[in-house]
Structure 1
Amino acid sequence: MATATKKPVRYKMHVRKGDTVQVIAGRDRGKVGEILSVNPKKSQVIVQGVNIRTKHVKPQQEGESGQIVTQEAPIHSSNVMLYSEKEKVASRIAYTFDKDGRKVRMLKKTGEIID
């Protein structure tokens, strides 16, 4: 019996770290922010100023006081769209080739090249 070899799974997302996006679904709908980190395996992104969670931290040493820490929690990548700062509009993306033959991302509504 031959055993099947597993192919490595490659995850592709329409957004990258550093992109400016607008949230299109959920409690924070309409907010615009920059992507701080991306988790392709879970298809999640962390957007600056979106999905803020508070965490109560106990004091670690004696004499130290506890604190309340706020930080961004991940949201699903399908709930964000790329955002054009110039045109102030969210858009889907298309993959095209530039003059040099490189594959680049382009906003469909505005024709703006992202990469």
Structure 2
Amino acid sequence: MINKVHVKKGDTVIVLNGKDAKKKGKVLAVYPDESRVLVEGVNMCTKHRKARSQTQQGGIIHQEAPIHSSKVMLVCPRCGKPTRVGKKILENGEKSRVCKKCNEIIDTIKKVKKG
């Protein structure tokens, strides 16, 4: 079964709860199998990297870790508010994502087959 995630790569989201609550960031990657998203600057963790050769140094690296997709909410590019995402089929047969607050189209998803 394919899990669906309401955000896509490149969307701006706000974190709803946890240690990084109310932080905004851009979605770097989406993992629909685990229902997780990787958000820029959110859920930072430290990783101890061992030196592999003379040229590559070891040390402590800070990087983002994925968080559950239910903890993020899409920020509408038109009105700038955190919003839920609705779906709408347009007259030309394309499916699109819609902002629930301002009712504006966020982007088109794909062509819907008729028949």
Q: TM-score, normalised by structure 1?
A: 0.83
Relative distance call for 1:85 and 1:104 in structure 2 (3 A) is closer
Q: Is the 8 A contact 2:76 2:106 kept in 1?
A: no
1:43 maps onto 2:35 in alignment: yes
**Range 12-21 or range 39-48, more displaced:** 12-21
Q: What is the correspondence of 1:74-85 to structure 2 with a 5 Å cutoff? A: 74-85=66-77
Relative distance call for 1:99 and 1:73 in structure 2 (3 A) is same
SS of structure 1 residue aligned to 2:106:
coil
Of structures 1 and 2, the larger Rg is shown by 1
Q: Name the aligned partner's letter for residue 40 of structure 2.
A: Q
Cα RMSD of the aligned pairs, angstroms, is 1.7
The one of 85, 90, 95 equivalent to 2:82 is: 90
Aligned length: 107
1:32 maps onto 2:9 in alignment: no
Unaligned runs of 5+ in 1: 1-8
1:13 maps onto 2:17 in alignment: no
Q: How far apart, CA to CA, are the structure 1 residues paired with 2:40 and 2:10?
A: 10
Larger fraction in strand:
2
Q: Give deviations 1:23-77, integer Å, cap 9, x for gaps.
A: 1111111111111111111100000111011112122236865222111100000
How far 1:113 sits from its partner (Å)? 1.4
Partner residue, 1:103:
95
Q: How far apart, CA to CA, are the structure 1 residues paired with 2:74 and 2:86?
A: 11
Q: Name the aligned partner's letter for residue 57 of structure 1.
A: R
Q: How far apart, CA to CA, are the structure 2 residues paired with 1:55 and 1:102?
A: 44
Q: How far apart, CA to CA, are the structure 1 residues paired with 2:56 and 2:83?
A: 48
Unaligned runs of 5+ in 2: 108-115
